[in-house]
Structure 1
Amino acid sequence: MIVERKVKLVTAQHNIDKPSPMEGFPMKEWSIEIFVLDEEGNEHPAKCFTRVVYNLHPSFENPVQSEAFHEPPFRCQNEGWGEFALTVDCYTTEKGGKSTIEHDLNFGAPKYENIHTITFKNPSQALQQTLRETGPLPNDDNPKGKARKTHDGKRKKGVDVEKMAEALPRLSEDDLLQVIQMIHDNKTDDTYIKNDVDAGEFSVDLYTLPDNLAKSIWDFLVKNGVVS
Protein backbone atom coordinates (compact mmCIF):
# COMPACT_ATOMS: atom_id res chain seq x y z
CA MET A 1 0.00 0.00 0.00
CA ILE A 2 1.27 3.47 -0.91
CA VAL A 3 -0.10 6.45 1.04
CA GLU A 4 0.79 10.06 0.27
CA ARG A 5 0.36 13.05 2.55
CA LYS A 6 1.15 16.74 2.18
CA VAL A 7 3.58 17.98 4.82
CA LYS A 8 3.90 21.69 5.53
CA LEU A 9 7.04 23.31 6.94
CA VAL A 10 6.34 26.69 8.54
CA THR A 11 9.38 28.95 8.95
CA ALA A 12 9.36 32.15 11.01
CA GLN A 13 12.24 34.59 11.58
CA HIS A 14 12.96 38.01 13.08
CA ASN A 15 15.94 40.22 13.93
CA ILE A 16 17.47 40.01 17.41
CA ASP A 17 19.69 42.46 19.24
CA LYS A 18 22.93 40.54 19.12
CA PRO A 19 26.20 41.38 17.37
CA SER A 20 26.61 39.67 14.00
CA PRO A 21 29.96 38.23 12.89
CA MET A 22 29.15 39.33 9.34
CA GLU A 23 28.79 43.07 8.65
CA GLY A 24 25.56 43.98 6.93
CA PHE A 25 23.83 40.77 7.98
CA PRO A 26 21.82 41.18 11.20
CA MET A 27 21.45 38.29 13.62
CA LYS A 28 18.20 36.40 13.34
CA GLU A 29 16.20 34.05 15.49
CA TRP A 30 14.40 31.51 13.33
CA SER A 31 12.20 28.47 13.83
CA ILE A 32 10.72 25.65 11.77
CA GLU A 33 7.58 23.66 12.61
CA ILE A 34 6.06 20.66 10.81
CA PHE A 35 2.38 19.92 10.11
CA VAL A 36 0.39 17.44 8.01
CA LEU A 37 -2.39 18.73 5.76
CA ASP A 38 -5.75 17.08 5.17
CA GLU A 39 -7.59 17.03 1.84
CA GLU A 40 -8.95 20.54 2.46
CA GLY A 41 -5.50 21.92 3.31
CA ASN A 42 -6.12 22.19 7.05
CA GLU A 43 -3.15 21.76 9.39
CA HIS A 44 -2.93 18.77 11.72
CA PRO A 45 -0.24 17.70 14.20
CA ALA A 46 2.32 15.54 12.39
CA LYS A 47 1.62 12.52 14.61
CA CYS A 48 2.62 10.17 11.79
CA PHE A 49 6.24 10.96 12.70
CA THR A 50 7.85 9.74 15.90
CA ARG A 51 10.94 11.92 15.69
CA VAL A 52 12.62 14.46 13.44
CA VAL A 53 16.28 15.28 12.78
CA TYR A 54 17.33 18.67 11.41
CA ASN A 55 20.58 18.68 9.44
CA LEU A 56 21.79 22.28 9.52
CA HIS A 57 24.74 24.03 7.88
CA PRO A 58 28.05 22.47 9.00
CA SER A 59 29.15 25.83 10.41
CA PHE A 60 26.75 25.34 13.33
CA GLU A 61 28.26 24.09 16.56
CA ASN A 62 25.62 21.36 16.60
CA PRO A 63 24.68 20.86 12.94
CA VAL A 64 22.79 17.56 13.39
CA GLN A 65 19.97 18.40 15.77
CA SER A 66 17.78 15.56 17.01
CA GLU A 67 17.60 15.54 20.80
CA ALA A 68 14.37 17.43 21.43
CA PHE A 69 12.25 16.65 18.39
CA HIS A 70 9.97 13.79 19.46
CA GLU A 71 6.59 15.55 19.62
CA PRO A 72 4.64 17.63 17.08
CA PRO A 73 5.15 20.29 15.86
CA PHE A 74 8.88 19.32 16.15
CA ARG A 75 9.84 22.98 16.57
CA CYS A 76 13.49 23.68 15.74
CA GLN A 77 14.70 27.11 16.89
CA ASN A 78 18.14 28.60 16.33
CA GLU A 79 20.02 31.84 15.86
CA GLY A 80 22.26 32.94 13.00
CA TRP A 81 22.91 35.52 10.34
CA GLY A 82 23.00 33.45 7.13
CA GLU A 83 20.58 31.68 4.84
CA PHE A 84 21.27 28.09 3.82
CA ALA A 85 19.74 24.85 2.54
CA LEU A 86 19.08 22.13 5.09
CA THR A 87 17.44 18.72 5.20
CA VAL A 88 14.84 17.39 7.61
CA ASP A 89 14.68 13.64 8.31
CA CYS A 90 11.19 12.54 9.41
CA TYR A 91 10.97 9.10 11.02
CA THR A 92 8.10 6.69 11.65
CA THR A 93 8.14 3.43 13.60
CA GLU A 94 8.21 1.46 10.34
CA LYS A 95 11.29 -0.46 9.19
CA GLY A 96 13.15 1.93 6.91
CA GLY A 97 10.55 4.57 7.74
CA LYS A 98 12.49 7.74 7.03
CA SER A 99 11.53 10.56 4.67
CA THR A 100 13.96 13.39 3.95
CA ILE A 101 12.73 16.88 3.10
CA GLU A 102 14.97 19.51 1.52
CA HIS A 103 14.28 22.95 2.92
CA ASP A 104 15.54 26.42 2.00
CA LEU A 105 16.02 28.60 5.07
CA ASN A 106 15.82 32.21 3.94
CA PHE A 107 15.02 35.59 5.45
CA GLY A 108 12.94 37.03 2.62
CA ALA A 109 9.77 37.16 4.74
CA PRO A 110 8.95 37.11 8.47
CA LYS A 111 7.01 33.88 7.93
CA TYR A 112 6.66 31.51 4.99
CA GLU A 113 5.42 28.00 4.22
CA ASN A 114 6.65 25.15 2.03
CA ILE A 115 4.58 22.07 1.19
CA HIS A 116 6.13 18.70 0.36
CA THR A 117 4.64 15.32 -0.51
CA ILE A 118 5.65 12.42 1.74
CA THR A 119 5.13 8.79 0.72
CA PHE A 120 4.41 6.06 3.26
CA LYS A 121 4.99 2.56 1.88
CA ASN A 122 3.06 -0.32 3.45
CA PRO A 123 2.29 1.48 6.73
CA SER A 124 1.46 -0.63 9.76
CA GLN A 125 -2.09 -0.78 11.09
CA ALA A 126 -1.22 1.71 13.84
CA LEU A 127 0.25 4.17 11.35
CA GLN A 128 -2.71 3.66 9.03
CA GLN A 129 -5.06 4.76 11.81
CA THR A 130 -2.99 7.92 12.33
CA LEU A 131 -2.91 8.67 8.60
CA ARG A 132 -6.70 8.31 8.41
CA GLU A 133 -6.98 11.43 10.58
CA THR A 134 -5.89 13.46 7.55
CA GLY A 135 -7.60 11.53 4.75
CA PRO A 136 -8.67 8.12 3.45
CA LEU A 137 -6.30 5.30 2.53
CA PRO A 138 -6.24 3.32 -0.73
CA ASN A 139 -7.83 0.29 0.92
CA ASP A 140 -10.68 2.43 2.27
CA ASP A 141 -12.45 2.07 -1.08
CA ASN A 142 -15.74 0.24 -0.63
CA PRO A 143 -16.95 -1.33 -3.88
CA LYS A 144 -20.12 -2.58 -2.20
CA GLY A 145 -21.14 0.98 -1.34
CA LYS A 146 -21.40 0.33 2.37
CA ALA A 147 -20.53 3.00 4.87
CA ARG A 148 -17.10 2.42 6.35
CA LYS A 149 -16.94 2.22 10.12
CA THR A 150 -14.30 4.07 12.10
CA HIS A 151 -12.44 2.38 14.92
CA ASP A 152 -11.05 4.44 17.77
CA GLY A 153 -10.11 1.59 20.10
CA LYS A 154 -7.24 -0.81 19.75
CA ARG A 155 -8.94 -4.02 20.97
CA LYS A 156 -11.42 -6.47 19.47
CA LYS A 157 -12.88 -8.67 22.21
CA GLY A 158 -9.62 -9.51 23.94
CA VAL A 159 -7.40 -9.10 20.86
CA ASP A 160 -4.95 -6.20 20.84
CA VAL A 161 -5.07 -5.12 17.19
CA GLU A 162 -2.03 -2.84 17.40
CA LYS A 163 0.08 -5.64 18.87
CA MET A 164 -1.26 -7.96 16.19
CA ALA A 165 -0.22 -5.50 13.48
CA GLU A 166 3.27 -5.23 14.96
CA ALA A 167 3.63 -9.00 15.33
CA LEU A 168 2.53 -10.14 11.86
CA PRO A 169 5.70 -8.93 10.06
CA ARG A 170 7.76 -11.00 12.52
CA LEU A 171 6.27 -14.25 11.24
CA SER A 172 8.17 -16.42 8.82
CA GLU A 173 7.07 -16.29 5.19
CA ASP A 174 5.29 -19.66 5.44
CA ASP A 175 3.45 -18.66 8.61
CA LEU A 176 2.47 -15.32 7.09
CA LEU A 177 1.05 -17.08 4.04
CA GLN A 178 -0.95 -19.28 6.40
CA VAL A 179 -2.45 -16.18 8.05
CA ILE A 180 -3.35 -14.73 4.64
CA GLN A 181 -5.09 -18.00 3.76
CA MET A 182 -6.98 -17.85 7.07
CA ILE A 183 -8.19 -14.37 6.15
CA HIS A 184 -9.28 -15.44 2.67
CA ASP A 185 -11.15 -18.46 4.04
CA ASN A 186 -12.93 -16.67 6.89
CA LYS A 187 -13.42 -13.05 5.82
CA THR A 188 -16.86 -11.48 5.65
CA ASP A 189 -18.36 -8.82 3.39
CA ASP A 190 -17.24 -6.20 5.92
CA THR A 191 -13.59 -7.29 5.78
CA TYR A 192 -11.49 -4.77 3.83
CA ILE A 193 -8.61 -6.37 1.97
CA LYS A 194 -6.50 -5.39 -0.99
CA ASN A 195 -4.58 -8.03 -2.89
CA ASP A 196 -2.19 -6.77 -5.56
CA VAL A 197 -0.95 -10.00 -7.11
CA ASP A 198 1.28 -8.28 -9.68
CA ALA A 199 3.08 -6.28 -6.99
CA GLY A 200 3.08 -9.18 -4.55
CA GLU A 201 1.33 -7.09 -1.91
CA PHE A 202 -1.52 -8.02 0.43
CA SER A 203 -3.07 -5.63 2.94
CA VAL A 204 -6.00 -5.93 5.31
CA ASP A 205 -7.68 -3.63 7.79
CA LEU A 206 -7.42 -5.72 10.95
CA TYR A 207 -10.21 -3.77 12.58
CA THR A 208 -12.66 -5.14 10.01
CA LEU A 209 -11.89 -8.79 10.69
CA PRO A 210 -14.76 -10.75 12.24
CA ASP A 211 -14.12 -11.39 15.92
CA ASN A 212 -13.69 -15.15 15.52
CA LEU A 213 -11.09 -14.68 12.77
CA ALA A 214 -9.23 -12.03 14.76
CA LYS A 215 -9.12 -14.41 17.74
CA SER A 216 -7.88 -17.28 15.57
CA ILE A 217 -5.05 -15.13 14.17
CA TRP A 218 -4.20 -13.91 17.67
CA ASP A 219 -3.99 -17.51 18.95
CA PHE A 220 -1.78 -18.37 15.96
CA LEU A 221 0.57 -15.50 16.85
CA VAL A 222 0.70 -16.62 20.47
CA LYS A 223 1.45 -20.19 19.39
CA ASN A 224 4.34 -18.92 17.23
CA GLY A 225 5.74 -16.83 20.08
CA VAL A 226 5.47 -13.40 18.47
CA VAL A 227 2.92 -12.10 21.00
CA SER A 228 2.22 -13.05 24.57
Structure 2
Amino acid sequence: MVSADIKRTIKLVTEQQTIDKPSGNEGFPMKEWSINIYLLDEAGKEKPASCFTKAVYNLHPSFKNPTQTFHSPPFTCKNEGWGEFDMTIDLYVNEKSGKHTIQHDLNFAKNVYESKHPITFKNPSSSLLQILKETGPVPGEENGRKKDSDKKRKRTTGNVDVERLAEQLIKLNEEELLQVVQMIHDNKTPETYTKNDVEQGEFHVDLYTLPDNLIKMLWDYTSGRTANH
Protein backbone atom coordinates (compact mmCIF):
# COMPACT_ATOMS: atom_id res chain seq x y z
CA MET A 1 0.00 0.00 0.00
CA VAL A 2 1.27 3.46 -0.82
CA SER A 3 0.25 6.04 1.73
CA ALA A 4 1.46 8.56 4.24
CA ASP A 5 0.12 7.65 7.67
CA ILE A 6 0.28 9.96 10.68
CA LYS A 7 0.00 8.51 14.18
CA ARG A 8 -1.23 10.52 17.14
CA THR A 9 -2.61 9.82 20.61
CA ILE A 10 -6.07 10.84 21.81
CA LYS A 11 -6.60 11.42 25.53
CA LEU A 12 -9.98 11.25 27.22
CA VAL A 13 -10.33 12.96 30.60
CA THR A 14 -13.34 11.80 32.61
CA GLU A 15 -14.54 13.61 35.73
CA GLN A 16 -17.36 12.52 38.02
CA GLN A 17 -18.88 13.51 41.34
CA THR A 18 -21.84 12.52 43.49
CA ILE A 19 -24.76 14.96 43.42
CA ASP A 20 -27.70 15.43 45.76
CA LYS A 21 -30.42 13.93 43.59
CA PRO A 22 -32.37 10.72 43.99
CA SER A 23 -31.22 7.96 41.65
CA GLY A 24 -34.19 5.66 42.17
CA ASN A 25 -31.78 2.78 42.84
CA GLU A 26 -30.77 2.12 46.44
CA GLY A 27 -27.03 1.87 46.89
CA PHE A 28 -26.32 3.71 43.64
CA PRO A 29 -25.95 7.45 44.25
CA MET A 30 -26.64 9.91 41.46
CA LYS A 31 -23.55 11.10 39.61
CA GLU A 32 -22.71 14.04 37.38
CA TRP A 33 -19.99 13.14 34.89
CA SER A 34 -18.20 14.73 31.95
CA ILE A 35 -15.74 13.63 29.26
CA ASN A 36 -13.27 15.88 27.40
CA ILE A 37 -11.22 14.90 24.34
CA TYR A 38 -7.66 16.11 23.69
CA LEU A 39 -4.83 15.42 21.26
CA LEU A 40 -1.38 14.87 22.78
CA ASP A 41 1.80 16.41 21.38
CA GLU A 42 5.25 14.80 21.41
CA ALA A 43 5.81 15.89 25.02
CA GLY A 44 2.50 14.39 26.11
CA LYS A 45 0.86 17.78 26.62
CA GLU A 46 -2.83 18.29 25.94
CA LYS A 47 -3.67 20.15 22.73
CA PRO A 48 -7.07 20.97 21.21
CA ALA A 49 -8.28 18.08 19.07
CA SER A 50 -9.03 20.50 16.22
CA CYS A 51 -8.30 17.79 13.66
CA PHE A 52 -11.86 16.60 14.30
CA THR A 53 -14.97 18.40 13.15
CA LYS A 54 -17.26 16.58 15.56
CA ALA A 55 -17.43 13.90 18.22
CA VAL A 56 -20.44 11.61 18.54
CA TYR A 57 -20.94 9.87 21.89
CA ASN A 58 -22.97 6.66 21.77
CA LEU A 59 -24.24 6.31 25.33
CA HIS A 60 -26.24 3.59 27.06
CA PRO A 61 -29.65 3.12 25.37
CA SER A 62 -31.40 3.93 28.67
CA PHE A 63 -30.56 7.64 28.15
CA LYS A 64 -33.31 9.80 26.70
CA ASN A 65 -30.80 11.04 24.12
CA PRO A 66 -28.25 8.21 23.80
CA THR A 67 -26.54 9.73 20.74
CA GLN A 68 -24.95 13.08 21.57
CA THR A 69 -22.94 15.17 19.10
CA PHE A 70 -20.49 18.01 19.78
CA HIS A 71 -18.70 20.17 17.22
CA SER A 72 -16.03 22.12 19.15
CA PRO A 73 -12.96 21.00 21.13
CA PRO A 74 -12.72 19.64 23.74
CA PHE A 75 -16.08 18.07 22.70
CA THR A 76 -17.35 18.02 26.29
CA CYS A 77 -20.08 15.47 26.96
CA LYS A 78 -21.77 16.10 30.33
CA ASN A 79 -24.60 14.04 31.82
CA GLU A 80 -26.16 12.74 35.01
CA GLY A 81 -26.82 9.11 35.92
CA TRP A 82 -26.21 6.40 38.48
CA GLY A 83 -24.81 3.59 36.32
CA GLU A 84 -21.44 2.73 34.81
CA PHE A 85 -21.29 1.50 31.21
CA ASP A 86 -19.13 1.09 28.12
CA MET A 87 -19.62 3.51 25.24
CA THR A 88 -18.17 4.23 21.83
CA ILE A 89 -17.09 7.65 20.60
CA ASP A 90 -16.99 8.41 16.87
CA LEU A 91 -14.47 11.08 15.87
CA TYR A 92 -14.87 12.70 12.46
CA VAL A 93 -11.94 14.41 10.74
CA ASN A 94 -12.20 17.60 8.71
CA GLU A 95 -12.24 15.86 5.34
CA LYS A 96 -13.97 12.95 3.59
CA SER A 97 -12.14 10.24 5.51
CA GLY A 98 -14.91 8.57 7.46
CA LYS A 99 -14.61 8.29 11.21
CA HIS A 100 -12.39 6.93 13.96
CA THR A 101 -14.20 4.98 16.68
CA ILE A 102 -12.76 4.54 20.16
CA GLN A 103 -14.06 2.57 23.14
CA HIS A 104 -14.52 4.20 26.54
CA ASP A 105 -15.30 2.74 29.95
CA LEU A 106 -17.35 5.14 32.06
CA ASN A 107 -16.82 4.20 35.70
CA PHE A 108 -16.96 5.88 39.09
CA ALA A 109 -13.84 4.40 40.71
CA LYS A 110 -12.04 7.76 40.67
CA ASN A 111 -13.21 11.36 40.59
CA VAL A 112 -10.86 12.04 37.66
CA TYR A 113 -9.24 9.52 35.34
CA GLU A 114 -7.58 9.51 31.93
CA SER A 115 -7.36 7.05 29.07
CA LYS A 116 -5.19 7.20 25.96
CA HIS A 117 -5.99 5.84 22.53
CA PRO A 118 -3.60 5.63 19.55
CA ILE A 119 -5.11 6.80 16.28
CA THR A 120 -3.83 6.71 12.70
CA PHE A 121 -4.70 9.25 10.03
CA LYS A 122 -4.29 7.47 6.70
CA ASN A 123 -3.06 9.55 3.77
CA PRO A 124 -4.24 12.87 5.26
CA SER A 125 -4.92 15.86 3.01
CA SER A 126 -2.70 18.93 3.05
CA SER A 127 -5.22 20.80 5.22
CA LEU A 128 -5.24 18.02 7.82
CA LEU A 129 -1.42 17.83 7.71
CA GLN A 130 -1.30 21.51 8.62
CA ILE A 131 -3.37 20.84 11.74
CA LEU A 132 -1.41 17.72 12.70
CA LYS A 133 1.86 19.67 12.51
CA GLU A 134 0.80 21.42 15.72
CA THR A 135 1.17 18.18 17.69
CA GLY A 136 4.19 16.51 16.11
CA PRO A 137 6.19 15.81 12.98
CA VAL A 138 4.58 14.88 9.69
CA PRO A 139 6.15 13.34 6.55
CA GLY A 140 8.30 15.85 4.69
CA GLU A 141 9.65 17.45 7.87
CA GLU A 142 12.94 16.80 9.58
CA ASN A 143 13.24 17.18 13.34
CA GLY A 144 9.92 19.01 13.36
CA ARG A 145 11.22 21.69 10.95
CA LYS A 146 9.46 22.45 7.69
CA LYS A 147 11.46 21.76 4.56
CA ASP A 148 9.13 23.78 2.40
CA SER A 149 5.93 25.67 2.96
CA ASP A 150 2.75 23.93 1.82
CA LYS A 151 2.28 26.70 -0.70
CA LYS A 152 5.63 25.97 -2.29
CA ARG A 153 5.06 22.23 -2.16
CA LYS A 154 1.70 22.68 -3.85
CA ARG A 155 3.26 24.78 -6.59
CA THR A 156 6.09 22.37 -7.36
CA THR A 157 3.64 19.60 -8.21
CA GLY A 158 2.76 21.40 -11.45
CA ASN A 159 -0.66 20.64 -12.85
CA VAL A 160 -1.01 17.32 -11.05
CA ASP A 161 -3.72 17.05 -8.39
CA VAL A 162 -1.73 15.25 -5.68
CA GLU A 163 -4.76 14.28 -3.61
CA ARG A 164 -6.36 12.73 -6.67
CA LEU A 165 -3.10 10.95 -7.44
CA ALA A 166 -3.24 9.44 -3.95
CA GLU A 167 -6.76 8.19 -4.65
CA GLN A 168 -5.61 6.62 -7.91
CA LEU A 169 -2.67 4.87 -6.23
CA ILE A 170 -5.01 3.20 -3.75
CA LYS A 171 -6.99 1.67 -6.64
CA LEU A 172 -3.97 -0.12 -8.14
CA ASN A 173 -3.52 -3.87 -7.75
CA GLU A 174 -0.56 -5.45 -5.96
CA GLU A 175 1.57 -5.91 -9.08
CA GLU A 176 0.99 -2.31 -10.17
CA LEU A 177 1.82 -1.02 -6.67
CA LEU A 178 5.13 -2.89 -6.75
CA GLN A 179 5.91 -1.10 -10.00
CA VAL A 180 5.06 2.24 -8.34
CA VAL A 181 7.36 1.47 -5.39
CA GLN A 182 10.17 0.68 -7.81
CA MET A 183 9.57 3.93 -9.71
CA ILE A 184 9.76 5.89 -6.46
CA HIS A 185 13.00 4.18 -5.40
CA ASP A 186 14.58 4.82 -8.81
CA ASN A 187 13.62 8.51 -9.00
CA LYS A 188 13.40 9.83 -5.44
CA THR A 189 15.54 12.66 -4.09
CA PRO A 190 17.09 13.24 -0.61
CA GLU A 191 13.98 15.30 0.26
CA THR A 192 11.64 12.38 -0.49
CA TYR A 193 10.01 10.85 2.61
CA THR A 194 9.54 7.06 2.41
CA LYS A 195 9.10 4.36 5.01
CA ASN A 196 9.06 0.62 4.38
CA ASP A 197 7.02 -1.18 7.05
CA VAL A 198 8.09 -4.76 6.46
CA GLU A 199 6.06 -6.27 9.33
CA GLN A 200 2.83 -4.75 8.06
CA GLY A 201 3.74 -5.25 4.41
CA GLU A 202 3.24 -1.54 3.75
CA PHE A 203 5.21 1.12 1.92
CA HIS A 204 4.60 4.74 2.93
CA VAL A 205 5.46 7.82 0.93
CA ASP A 206 4.68 11.52 1.29
CA LEU A 207 3.64 12.47 -2.24
CA TYR A 208 4.30 16.14 -1.57
CA THR A 209 8.01 15.42 -1.14
CA LEU A 210 8.41 13.77 -4.57
CA PRO A 211 10.24 15.63 -7.36
CA ASP A 212 8.18 17.08 -10.23
CA ASN A 213 9.27 14.51 -12.79
CA LEU A 214 8.33 11.60 -10.51
CA ILE A 215 4.94 13.12 -9.72
CA LYS A 216 4.28 13.36 -13.47
CA MET A 217 5.46 9.77 -14.05
CA LEU A 218 3.14 8.44 -11.33
CA TRP A 219 0.25 10.49 -12.64
CA ASP A 220 0.69 9.15 -16.18
CA TYR A 221 1.14 5.60 -14.89
CA THR A 222 -1.92 5.57 -12.60
CA SER A 223 -4.25 7.51 -14.92
CA GLY A 224 -4.08 4.91 -17.66
CA ARG A 225 -4.58 1.97 -15.33
CA THR A 226 -7.28 3.25 -12.95
CA ALA A 227 -9.37 4.25 -15.95
CA ASN A 228 -9.54 0.57 -16.86
CA HIS A 229 -10.33 -0.70 -13.34
For normalisation by structure 1, the TM-score amounts to 0.70
Query: Equivalent residue for 1:85?
Result: 85
Query: Equivalent residue for 1:123?
Result: 122
Distance 1:197 1:7, change over 3 A: closer
What is the correspondence of 1:140-151 to structure 2 with a 5 Å cutoff? 149=147, 151=149
Q: CA RMSD in A?
A: 3.8
Distance 1:19 1:198, change over 3 A: closer
Q: Distance in 2 between matches of 1:185 and 1:57?
A: 54
Q: Distance in 1 between matches of 2:25 and 2:199?
A: 58
Contact 1:31-1:78 within 8 A present in 2 as well: yes
Moved more, 39-48 or 24-33: 24-33
Query: Equivalent residue for 2:102?
Result: 100
Contact 2:55-2:75 within 8 A present in 1 as well: yes
Query: Equivalent residue for 2:8?
Result: 5
Query: Equivalent residue for 2:209?
Result: 208
Contact 2:10-2:119 within 8 A present in 1 as well: no
Distance 1:2 1:209, change over 3 A: closer
Q: Distance in 2 between matches of 1:207 and 1:157?
A: 11
Please state if 1:45 is matched with 2:48.
yes
User: 1 or 2 for the larger relative contact order (CA 8 Å, sep ≥6)?
Assistant: 2
Secondary structure of 1:202's counterpart equals strand
Query: Equivalent residue for 1:183?
Result: 184
Distance 1:77 1:161, change over 3 A: farther
Query: In the alignment, residue 45 of structure 1 is paired with which amino acid?
Result: P
Distance 1:4 1:195, change over 3 A: closer
Kindly provide the CA deviation profile for residues 111-133 of structure 1, in whole angstroms up to 9, marking residues without a partner as x: x341313142x821439835443
Distance 1:150 1:61, change over 3 A: farther
Contact 2:54-2:92 within 8 A present in 1 as well: yes
Contact 1:6-1:115 within 8 A present in 2 as well: no
Moved more, 51-60 or 186-195: 51-60
Percent identity between matched residues is 47
Contact 1:69-1:75 within 8 A present in 2 as well: yes
Query: In the alignment, residue 167 of structure 2 is paired with which amino acid?
Result: E
Query: Equivalent residue for 2:167?
Result: 166
Per the TM alignment, residue 103 of structure 1 is displaced from its structure 2 partner at its CA by 2.5
Contact 1:6-1:36 within 8 A present in 2 as well: yes
Q: What residue ranges of structure 1 are gaps of 5+ in the alignment? A: none
Query: In the alignment, residue 152 of structure 1 is paired with which amino acid?
Result: D
Q: Distance in 2 between matches of 1:74 and 1:131?
A: 18
Kindly provide the CA deviation profile for residues 166-207 of structure 1, in whole angstroms up to 9, marking residues without a partner as x: 332122333323322221221112212122445422111111
How many residue pairs match? The answer is: 216
Q: What residue ranges of structure 2 are gaps of 5+ in the alignment? A: none
